[in-house]
């Protein structure tokens, strides 16, 4: 056992709601009749209680991005726990996102910031993508795992009392529990805990709660863990070295814990997603790998190849028309690349011309001029595009053959305004961009030209795509080099070594 003060991370559990119900989840997702969502006061208290803890503070769930106040929590935590070297990259296209995040964790969190920052544990959901810009700008460490991969989770709902383990033997086993010795202490709405799994057991079985969330709670030593160690008595954390594929969504539980799940009315048990173990031979599933994280060895597998959430799905075109001349031919070309096309004009006469040209083209919309205002009409066009990436251009612009398909194969940041390679006049953006949310409807309405609209994005969030934007590379290496050169002399060589290692990996 370790004191939380010696841990690399302490978690703040903001919810146990999740889009998954993985096998043997450490938060027992699927077994709760009602999910919790931590309130703002408790979150603030949790962050304040960790003042002086000079390592990573994680936001965890369930799926933390499902919390309605996720953005507020993330910003507050980052403000209260600032980084020595903020790393605001992740703006250029990325072909292999898990690999990029592995590099960013290693370079930015581990070496540059010496593991002092804010972390996010997420299963890369639609909400993650919705918050992509915020997450990349705020979290120095990300543990991403969509669990649609070969992750192995060991059983946790079992008691050593159902196995032939003597008290002496047990104390040694418990104190060597790999989870407590490698993972984290945590804070839930019910208090602070020496172990994240103990915290989740307390939540599931309506336990007495944790220690008060007050300054220095995390300085307790194992000798002070007291009543919280009772949770180890009904936990498989120290008992098993094998696990089941998380994606099977079945929990392996002992007969005693099966009864306890029945008592709390577990929906997952009612749905038949629980398998009762034979406690005379209880090492179900496959042997856990003997690696640092024990459940998934290959970082590249953390987001499955079938997970399309991070990639631009549809790309809609918005075309600003000032003449309407030759629009039929232009539309034919644009339709070869874009999913839908929205045209707008500020003059009614031109809009009428456009409307007559698109009769019969269901995938083309013409937005009527709004009070002859460029900004108001653009607002309407953006609204018509829905929650999709938008390619914005003037009527004479031509999209190079194949480029839209190439863009759909890379991860691009919804907070960034991109220009197509060598084509300053064609821009790509997402309606979720912070630049647009901050400007709000009125900010866009006040724009009287495309240039004014583009300037809603700060200069560092405007990126011109390079010709070879979709090759396997780490596109941030040059920016990271500048950060490495800036690092204080004590850590500079370590940071440069990390960078060299990442560069070599790509060369190999």
Cβ nearer to ligand SF4, comparing 20 with 330: 20
Structure tokens at 322: 């000032």
Q: How far is the CB of 76 from ligand SF4 (least distance, A)?
A: 22
Binding residues vs ligand SF4 (CB under 6 A): 18, 20-22, 25, 27, 29, 61-63, 123, 147, 174, 177, 179-180, 195, 197-198, 231-232, 235, 237-238, 246
DSSP E strand boundaries for 151-303: 152-153, 185-188, 191-193, 242-245, 251-253, 274-276, 286-287
The residue (of 123 and 316) whose beta carbon lies closer to ligand SF4 is 123
Helix (H, G, I), strand (E, B) or coil at 121: strand
Q: Residue 306, exposed/middle/buried by CB under 10 A (0-12, 13-18, 19+)?
A: exposed
Rounded (5°) CA angle 199-209-233: 55
Only one residue has tokens 């240039």, namely: 451
Position of minimal CB gap to ligand SF4: 237
Nearer to ligand SF4, 184 or 343 (CB): 184
Closest separation in Å from C-beta 110 to ligand SF4? 23
Residue 21 beta carbon to ligand SF4: minimum distance, rounded to whole angstroms: 5
Q: Which is nearer to ligand SF4, 180 or 474 (CB)?
A: 180
Q: Which of 17, 502 has the CB closer to ligand SF4?
A: 17
CB nearer ligand SF4, residue 206 or residue 478:
206
CB of 184 within 8 A of CB of 12?
no
Smallest gap from residue 440 Cβ to ligand SF4 (A):
34
Write the DSSP string, 337-385: T-SEEEEE-SSHHHHHHHHHHTTT-TTEEEEPPSTT-HHHHHHHHHHHH
3-state class (DSSP) for residue 264: coil
- As a whole number of angstroms, the distance between CA 304 and CA 297 comes to 14
Least distance in angstroms from the C-beta of 442 to ligand SF4 = 39
Number of H helices, E strands in the chain: 18, 18
Q: Which CB atom, from 303 or from 367, has the smaller least distance to ligand SF4?
A: 303
Q: Minimum Å distance from CB 260 to ligand SF4?
A: 15
Least distance CB 307 / ligand SF4 (angstroms): 13
């Amino acid at each position: 056992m370790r004191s939380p003060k010696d841990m690399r991370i302490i978690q703040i559990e903001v919810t146990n709601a999740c889009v998954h119900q993985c096998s043997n989840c450490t938060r027992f997702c699927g077994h709760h009749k009602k999910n919790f969502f931590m309130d703002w006061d408790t979150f603030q208290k949790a962050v304040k209680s960790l003042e002086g803890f000079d390592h990573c503070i994680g936001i965890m769930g369930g799926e933390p991005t499902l919390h309605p106040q996720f953005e507020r929590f993330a910003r507050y935590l980052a403000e209260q726990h600032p980084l020595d070297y903020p790393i605001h990259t992740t703006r250029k296209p990325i072909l292999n996102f898990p690999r990029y995040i592995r590099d960013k964790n290693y370079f930015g969190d581990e070496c540059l910031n010496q593991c002092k920052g804010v972390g996010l544990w997420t299963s890369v959901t639609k909400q993650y993508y919705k918050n992509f810009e915020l997450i990349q700008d705020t979290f120095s460490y990300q543990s991403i795992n969509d669990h649609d991969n070969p992750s192995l989770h060991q059983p946790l709902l079992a008691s050593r009392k159902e196995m032939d383990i003597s008290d002496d033997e047990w104390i040694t086993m418990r104190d060597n529990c790999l989870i407590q010795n490698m993972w984290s202490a945590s804070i839930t709405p019910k208090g602070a805990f020496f172990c994240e799994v103990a915290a989740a057991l307390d939540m599931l079985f309506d336990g007495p709660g944790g220690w008060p969330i007050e300054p220095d709670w995390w300085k307790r030593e194992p000798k002070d863990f007291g009543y919280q160690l009772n949770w180890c008595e009904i936990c498989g954390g120290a008992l098993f070295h094998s696990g089941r594929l998380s994606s099977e969504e079945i929990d392996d539980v002992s007969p005693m814990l099966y009864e306890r799940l029945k008592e709390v009315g577990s929906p997952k048990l009612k749905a038949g997603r629980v398998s009762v173990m034979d406690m005379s031979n209880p090492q179900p599933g496959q042997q856990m790998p003997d690696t640092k994280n024990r459940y998934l060895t290959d970082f590249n597998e953390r987001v499955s190849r079938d997970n399309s959430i991070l990639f631009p799905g549809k790309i809609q075109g918005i075309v600003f028309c000032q003449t309407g001349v030759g629009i039929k031919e232009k539309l034919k070309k644009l339709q070869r690349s874009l999913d839908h096309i929205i045209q707008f004009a500020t003059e009614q006469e031109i809009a009428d011309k456009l409307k007559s040209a698109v009769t019969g083209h269901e995938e083309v919309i013409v937005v009527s001029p709004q009070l002859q205002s460029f900004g108001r009409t653009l607002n309407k066009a953006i609204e018509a595009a829905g929650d999709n990436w938008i390619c914005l251009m003037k009527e004479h612009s031509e999209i190079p053959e194949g480029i839209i398909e190439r863009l759909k194969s890379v991860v691009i940041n919804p907070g960034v305004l991109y220009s197509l390679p060598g084509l300053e006049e064609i821009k790509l953006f997402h309606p979720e961009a912070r630049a647009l949310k901050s400007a709000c409807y009125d900010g866009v309405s006040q724009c009287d030209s495309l240039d004014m609209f583009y300037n809603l994005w700060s200069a560092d969030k405007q990126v011109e795509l390079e010709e070879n934007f979709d090759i396997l590379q780490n596109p941030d290496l040059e920016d990271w080099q500048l950060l490495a050169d800036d690092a204080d002399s004590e850590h500079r060589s370590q940071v440069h070594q990390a960078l060299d290692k990442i560069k070599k990996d790509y060369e190999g």
